């Protein structure tokens, strides 16, 4: 037990150093997804699974112009709507998720995006990662740590976790990072992965976070 505690303390100390550096690099990180209405952000996050935010924004530039209100989504022809999203991965399933979610938002929540984890994860296409992102961005609620592909890769690289599943990684991160930092940590690490440490980069010693390990 002592060795487990010591390992956790070492990860906690490393996380604190990483957070300090990330704050210097990205003082006010914002979501890279484009949106104007809360439901649009939820839809964009659902669309972003296994798709880059850049590609989602390209699709949404036309999608949100064509479907300007929640009612427009509800009136959409499923086949045409799916075709409108065809430039992103898994677009057929995501189209079904979004149209089903739009109906739930109207019928159950009066057009509003729910603000609890339990409610969000019940929406079609919205798992825990989506819920964490939405709660953090729309409501400033730190219920958990968003674990996307960048966070998985970088927390392993910088020795903050030895786990492999998103659920276990999130639990471990929640144990070593103060709750007040959960939202900012994920946002900053995602931006760091995009701008300083892409997956194929092999220049680790030159990266700003390397000295924190």
Alpha helices, DSSP H, located in the chain: 2-25, 38-47, 53-66, 70-74, 78-84, 91-109, 117-120, 128-139, 149-157, 166-176, 182-195
The Cα–Cα gap between 1 and 61 comes to 53
CA distances from 101 to 21, 85, 164, 184, 199 (A): 38, 16, 30, 27, 32
Catalytic residue among 24, 148, 168, 211: 148
Fold of 2-30+144-212: Endonuclease Iii, domain 2 (1.10.1670)
Residue-wise pLDDT tens digits, 69-91: 999 999 999 999 999 999 999 99
- Domains of the chain: which residue ranges? 2-30+144-212, 38-139
Q: What is the mean pLDDT of residues 33-50?
A: 96
Q: Is 159 noted as a catalytic residue in this protein? A: no
pLDDT of 98 strictly over 80: yes
- Whether the Cβ atoms of residue 18 and residue 161 lie closer than 8 Å to each other: no
- Look at residue 198 in the predicted model and tell me its pLDDT: 78
Catalytic residue among 24, 68, 107, 129: 129
Q: Is 129 noted as a catalytic residue in this protein? A: yes
- Look at residue 35 in the predicted model and tell me its pLDDT: 96
Q: From 3.90.190.10, 1.10.340.30, 3.30.1330.10, 3.30.1490.20, which CATH number describes the 38-139 domain?
A: 1.10.340.30
Q: What is the mean pLDDT of residues 130-136?
A: 97
Q: What is the mean pLDDT of residues 130-157?
A: 95
Q: Give the confidence band of 22 by pLDDT, cuts at 50, 70, 90.
A: very high
Hey, CA dihedral for 109, 111, 114, 118, is it positive or negative? positive
- Whether the Cβ atoms of residue 135 and residue 45 lie closer than 8 Å to each other: no
Q: What is the mean pLDDT of residues 156-182?
A: 94
């Amino acid at each position: 037990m002592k060795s487990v505690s010591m390992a956790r303390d070492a990860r906690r100390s490393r996380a604190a150093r990483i957070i300090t550096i990330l704050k210097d690099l990205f003082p006010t990180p914002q979501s890279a997804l484009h949106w104007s209405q809360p439901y649009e952000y939820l839809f964009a996050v659902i669309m972003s699974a296994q798709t880059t935010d850049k590609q989602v924004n390209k699709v949404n530039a036309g999608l949100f112009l064509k479907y300007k209100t929640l009612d427009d989504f509800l009136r959409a022809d499923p086949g045409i709507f799916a075709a409108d999203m065809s430039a992103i991965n898994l677009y057929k399933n995501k189209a079904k998720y979004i149209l089903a979610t739009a109906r739930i938002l109207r019928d159950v929540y009066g057009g509003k995006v729910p603000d609890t984890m339990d409610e969000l994860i019940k929406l079609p296409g919205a798992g825990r990662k989506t819920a964490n992102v939405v709660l953090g961005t729309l409501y400033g609620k730190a219920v958990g740590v968003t674990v996307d592909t960048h966070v998985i890769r970088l927390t392993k690289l910088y020795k903050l976790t030895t786990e492999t599943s998103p659920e276990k990684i999130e639990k471990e991160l929640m144990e070593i990072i103060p709750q007040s930092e959960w939202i900012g940590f994920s946002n900053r690490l995602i931006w760091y992965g995009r701008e300083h440490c892409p997956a194929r980069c092999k220049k680790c010693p030159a990266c700003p976070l390397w000295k924190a390990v």
